[in-house]
Amino acid sequence: MTTGFFWDEKCFWHGGGAYALTLPLGDFVQPLAAGGLPENPETKRRLKNLMSVSGIDQELAMQSATPATWGDLARVHPESFLTKFKETSDAGGGELGLRTPFLRGGFEIAALSAGLAKEALAQVLDGTLDNAYSLSRPPGHHCLPDWPNGFCLLNNIAIAIEAAIASGQASRFAVVDWDVHHGNGTEAIFYDRDDVLTISVHEEHNYPTDTGDITDRGTGAGAGYNMNIPLPPGAGHNTYLETIDRLVTPALQDFAPDVIIVACGFDACTFDPLAHMLCTAETFRQMTAKMMEVADETCDGKLVLVHEGGYSEAYVPFCGHAVMEQLSGSSRAAPDPMAEVVAQRQPNTRQQAFFSEVITDMATELLGT
Ligand code: ZN
């Protein structure tokens, strides 16, 4: 079993702007001391560091990749947008969308982030790796073809998929987005296509506040190939696993992709400052196990996870490490120091019955079951 891990220190150098989480700075909002984006490098760098401390990195095929080329980017993003992005980046940085500030060199770092995802997917598809994780930063799932938003400057997963199609490596892709926010960019890019099944599990109307509805199923040839699973705030470990079992897995089995790509945000974790869910490191471990199972069943185990959001600097590394343990089968653990507490914070039986009822309703609407 060979598991790849794609990362590059340069991706941690992306930054820009003074922020206070996502509050608009103004007369009464003081910028946070760190002065940077809530999407800051430390959640990711600390994951990479934890992997070095546990030693699990010695069992993984750790590597960087070349940046995605202009041609790679242009399969997803219009040249007019790319030119403006490159020029603004060369001129010192700026902001071309919503909450996507970048500094000089931001274009090159975003292309590198996409390049990591592209290479991870390519190496899984050609059999060099059994599965892989791409620690892409900046993230990608919110980015529309011509409008970056939600910390996402280029759509990493879409760029990777289009490169794989162009090289003839695969033709059917399933994207499972368990970042706590709606994968609006990926949805928009593939909304009218039946060769890419997009599934987003998210907190309803968190971000964006006006997309991600269950009724948005795709259009034209893509009708039925987009699935939104908006969960109420407060959903935790059991609800996420039940969602995977009852909604996501049947859709993947039915679609039978060549590869499964997970847009892996860790912001559904209980410590996240930008969302209101109760997932734990163990949740992410078990969701990964379930994805491996359905990948074994449908596509020879071909599975690629691409990092998206997750804003708890202290806790995200433990979630990510649990995913890497599961993905690689390694016994080099980094035990969740909060395991007992976060297990106790889960919804009680009566609340859990409510969440199950929500899932039952969605199964009827989405799968007719
Ligand atoms: Zn997110």
Half-sphere exposure of 300 (CA within 13 A, CB side): 10
Q: Which residue has the tokens 């934890």?
A: 50
User: pLDDT tens across 95-148, in order?
Assistant: 999 989 999 999 999 999 999 999 999 999 999 999 999 999 999 999 999 999
In the chain, the percentage of residues whose pLDDT exceeds 90 is 92
Tell me the CA–centroid distance for residue 208 and ligand 1, in Å: 10
Active site residue 181: no
Distance 168 CA to ligand 1 centre (A): 31
Distance from Cα 224 to the centre of ligand 1, integer Å: 24
pLDDT tens-digit series, residues 46-89: 999 999 999 999 999 999 999 999 999 999 999 999 999 999 99
Distance (Å) from CA 97 to ligand 1 centroid = 17
Cα–ligand 1 centroid distance for 150 (angstroms): 8
Residue 32: pLDDT band by 50, 70, 90 thresholds?
A: confident
Domain limits of the chain? 3-17+33-367
Number of H helices, E strands in the chain: 12, 10
CA of 151 to the centre of ligand 1 (A): 9
Question: Which is catalytic among the residues 14, 77, 141, 142?
Answer: 142
Per the DSSP assignment, residues forming a β-bridge with 206 are none
pLDDT digits (tens, 9 = 90+) for 282-302: 999 999 999 999 999 999 999
- The pTM of this model reads 0.98
Any bridge partners for residue 6, and if so which?
A: 63, 134
Cis peptide before 208 (omega within 30 of 0): yes
Q: Quickly tell me which residue has 């433990």 as its tokens.
A: 318
CB 100 within 8 A of CB 151: yes
Rounded distance between C-alpha atoms, residue 282 and residue 304, angstroms: 19
- How many A from CA of 209 to the centre of ligand 1? 12
Fold of 3-17+33-367: Arginase; Chain A (3.40.800)
For the chain, how big is the Rg over CA atoms in Å?
19
Ligand 1 mean position, distance from CA 267 (Å): 6
Mean per-residue pLDDT of the chain:
96
User: Which tens digits make up the pLDDT trace of 333-357?
Assistant: 999 999 999 999 999 999 999 999 9
Question: Cα–Cα distance between 349 and 238 in angstroms, integer?
Answer: 11
- Residue 189 to residue 170: CA distance in whole angstroms: 18
In angstroms, the CA 330 to CA 61 distance is 13
> What pLDDT, on the 0 to 100 scale, is given for residue 31?
78
